[in-house]
C-alpha cells in the first residue's frame, strides 16, 4: 500500500513533472550537502513538536472539563463556555498539523489517531438529528455510546466517511447545523436537559456522546504527545538520522501547504461554494483553521514556538542558498497575511456572487500552491530527488 507521502501529494498537486525536471537540473550541478546546523534544526523541531502537543493536550483537557460541566448542568452560560473552550483548543492543535504526512505518531497507518481526532467533512445525521433527518444518528439509535464504540464506528465505511469522533463531532454537538448566513450554528442548550423539559429526544444519550468524545480526544492527543517527549522511542529514532528527519520535516511543510490546506480545504470549498465543504462549518471557525495551519508552517520554518527560539529550517536553507531561503520566507509570510485577510464568515466568502470574498480565497490558494513549489526546491537543493523519494517513501 502506498504511504501518504510527498510523492503522492506531488502527484495529486500536479507537481511530479516539476520535481523531475528540477531534479535533473540539480543533478547537473550536484546536490548541496546538508549544512552543519541541520542537527540543531532537528533538535529545535522536536522541542516545538513536544511543546505544541503539550498545549494541545492542555487546551483539550480544559475543553473536556467544560463539556463535563455543561452536560452535568446544561445552561446557556455553560454551553457558551464549552464553545469557547473548543475554539481555544483549536488554536494550538492546528499548529501541529505540519507534523503530519510522514507516517509519524499522529498519522502512521497502524496506530495514528489523526482520523479520529480531526476527520472531516462530517455527515451530521450519522451522529444526531438534522433538519432533513429529525430522527437520525447514533444518538437517536440504539448503539452503545462509549469511547471505544464511537471510535470503532469512525470511518466504518471507509476513510473520510461516517465521522463520529474528534474535534468536528464535538463542534457539531455544541453548535448544531449552521443555518445562518451571518453566524454559526445555534443548537439550543435544552437539547441536553434530561428532566423532561428539554428539546430534541434522547438528551441523556446526547450528553453521554459529548462526554465520550471529549474523553477520547484528550486520550488520543496525550498518546501522540507522549511519543515526542525526551527519551520516547519515536523521538529518539527521529533525531538519530538527521537526513531522514530533515526530509520528513520539510515533507510535512510541503504537503500541508499546497495539498492539504490549499487544495483539500480551500480548493474544495471554493469550487463548490458550499458551506458543507468548509472545514469548521458549524462554528464558523474555518478562517482560523487556515491561519493556524500556516502559522504552524512558519513555526517550523523559523524554529520558534512560544518561548522556544532555536535553529529553524530557514537557517538550514539559508546556509546553503540564501536566495531560496528569502524566497520561501517571503512566500510563507505572504500566505499568512492572505489568510488573516480572508472575509468572515468563510461560508459567505466562498458564495457565488461574492467576488471580493472569492478573490481573497483564490489569492490564498494560489499563494499556497506557490509556497508548495518553492519549498519543493528545498528538497532538490539537497539532492532529495524523485529517486530518493521513491526509495524511502514508496510501496512497502
- On whether the CB atoms of residues 106 and 100 are closer than 8 A, the answer is yes
Least confident residue range of 87-91, 135-139, 165-169, 277-281? 277-281
How many Cβ atoms sit within 10 Å of the Cβ of residue 75?
14
Mean pLDDT of the chain: 90
Nearest to 360 by CA among 294, 254, 287, 284: 287
- On whether the CB atoms of residues 314 and 43 are closer than 8 A, the answer is no
Give mean pLDDT, residues 16-37. 58
Report how far apart, in Å, the C-alpha atoms of 137 and of each of 68, 123, 128, 163 are: 22, 9, 4, 11
How many Cβ atoms sit within 10 Å of the Cβ of residue 100?
20
CA 34 – CA 319 distance, rounded (Å): 9
Q: Look at the block and give the residue holding cell 463535563.
A: 68
Dihedral (CA of 153, 158, 164, 170) sign: positive
- Is the confidence at residue 394, as pLDDT, over 60? no
- On whether the CB atoms of residues 296 and 304 are closer than 8 A, the answer is no
- Is the confidence at residue 16, as pLDDT, over 50? no
Report how far apart, in Å, the C-alpha atoms of 341 and of each of 233, 282, 316, 349, 363 are: 41, 21, 30, 11, 10
Predicted structure pTM score: 0.91
Q: Look at the block and give the residue holding cell 472539563.
A: 65
Q: Which pLDDT belongs to residue 31?
A: 83
Q: Which pLDDT belongs to residue 226?
A: 98
CA 195 – CA 212 distance, rounded (Å): 21
Q: Which pLDDT belongs to residue 255?
A: 93
Q: Which pLDDT belongs to residue 174?
A: 98
Q: Which pLDDT belongs to residue 105?
A: 98
Give mean pLDDT, residues 350-366. 96
- Is the confidence at residue 393, as pLDDT, over 50? no
- On whether the CB atoms of residues 369 and 241 are closer than 8 A, the answer is no
Q: Which pLDDT belongs to residue 386?
A: 52
- Is the confidence at residue 158, as pLDDT, over 50? yes
Burial class of residue 273 in the structure, from the number of CB atoms within 10 Å of its CB (0-12 exposed, 13-18 middle, 19+ buried) = middle
Least confident residue range of 23-37, 80-94, 103-117, 230-244? 23-37
- Is the confidence at residue 175, as pLDDT, over 80? yes
- Pairing state of beta strands 304-305 and 308-309? antiparallel
* Reduced 3-state DSSP string for 310-351: CCCHHHHHHHHCHHHHHHHHHHHHHHHHHHHCCCCCHHHHCC
- On whether the CB atoms of residues 202 and 79 are closer than 8 A, the answer is no
Nine cell digits for residue 379: 528538497
> Is residue 19 very low, low, confident or very high in pLDDT (cuts 50, 70, 90)?
very low
Give the end-to-end CA distance of the chain in Å, rounded to a whole number: 6
Domains of the chain: 6-392 (1.20.1420.20)
> Is residue 155 very low, low, confident or very high in pLDDT (cuts 50, 70, 90)?
confident
Amino acid at each position: 500500500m502506498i504511504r501518504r507521502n510527498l510523492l503522492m501529494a506531488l502527484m495529486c498537486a500536479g507537481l511530479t513533472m516539476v520535481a523531475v525536471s528540477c531534479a535533473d537540473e540539480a543533478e547537473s550541478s550536484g546536490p548541496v550537502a546538508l549544512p552543519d546546523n541541520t542537527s540543531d534544526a532537528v533538535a529545535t523541531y522536536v522541542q516545538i513538536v513536544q511543546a505544541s502537543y503539550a498545549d494541545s493536550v492542555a487546551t483539550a483537557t480544559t475543553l473536556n472539563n467544560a463539556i463535563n460541566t455543561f452536560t452535568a448542568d446544561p445552561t446557556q452560560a455553560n454551553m457558551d463556555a464549552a464553545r469557547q473552550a473548543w475554539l481555544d483548543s483549536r488554536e494550538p492543535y492546528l499548529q501541529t498539523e505540519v507534523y503530519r504526512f510522514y507516517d509519524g505518531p499522529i498519522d502512521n497507518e497502524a496506530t495514528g489517531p489523526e482520523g479520529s481526532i480531526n476527520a472531516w467533512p462530517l455527515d451530521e445525521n450519522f451522529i444526531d438529528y438534522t433538519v432533513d433527518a429529525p430522527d437520525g444518528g447514533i444518538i437517536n439509535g440504539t448503539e452503545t455510546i462509549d469511547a471505544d464504540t464511537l471510535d470503532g464506528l469512525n470511518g466504518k465505511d471507509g476513510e473520510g466517511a461516517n465521522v463520529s469522533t474528534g474535534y468536528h463531532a464535538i463542534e457539531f454537538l455544541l453548535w448544531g447545523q449552521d443555518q445562518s448566513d451571518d453566524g454559526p450554528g445555534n443548537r439550543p442548550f435544552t437539547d441536553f436537559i434530561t428532566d423532561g423539559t428539554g428539546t430534541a429526544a434522547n438528551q441523556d444519550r446526547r450528553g453521554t456522546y459529548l462526554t465520550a468524545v471529549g474523553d477520547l480526544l484528550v486520550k488520543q492527543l496525550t498518546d501522540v504527545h507522549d511519543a515526542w517527549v525526551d527519551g520516547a522511542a519515536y523521538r529518539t529514532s527521529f533525531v538519530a538520522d538527521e537526513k531522514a528527519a530533515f526530509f520528513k520535516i520539510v515533507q510535512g511543510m510541503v504537503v500541508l501547504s499546497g495539498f492539504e490546506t490549499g487544495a483539500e480545504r480551500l480548493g474544495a470549498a471554493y469550487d463548490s461554494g458550499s458551506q458543507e465543504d468548509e472545514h469548521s462549518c458549524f462554528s464558523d471557525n474555518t478562517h482560523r483553521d487556515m491561519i493556524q495551519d500556516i502559522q504552524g508552517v512558519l513555526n517550523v520554518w523559523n524554529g520558534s514556538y512560544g518561548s522556544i527560539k532555536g535553529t529553524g529550517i530557514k537557517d538550514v536553507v539559508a546556509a546553503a542558498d540564501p536566495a531560496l531561503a528569502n524566497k520561501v520566507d517571503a512566500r510563507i509570510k505572504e500566505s499568512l497575511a492572505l489568510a488573516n485577510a480572508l472575509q468572515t464568515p468563510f461560508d459567505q466568502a466562498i458564495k457565488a456572487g461574492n467576488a471580493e470574498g472569492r478573490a481573497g480565497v483564490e489569492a490564498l490558494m494560489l499563494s499556497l500552491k506557490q509556497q508548495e513549489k518553492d519549498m519543493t526546491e528545498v528538497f532538490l537543493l539537497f539532492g532529495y530527488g524523485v529517486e530518493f523519494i521513491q526509495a524511502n517513501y514508496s510501496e512497502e
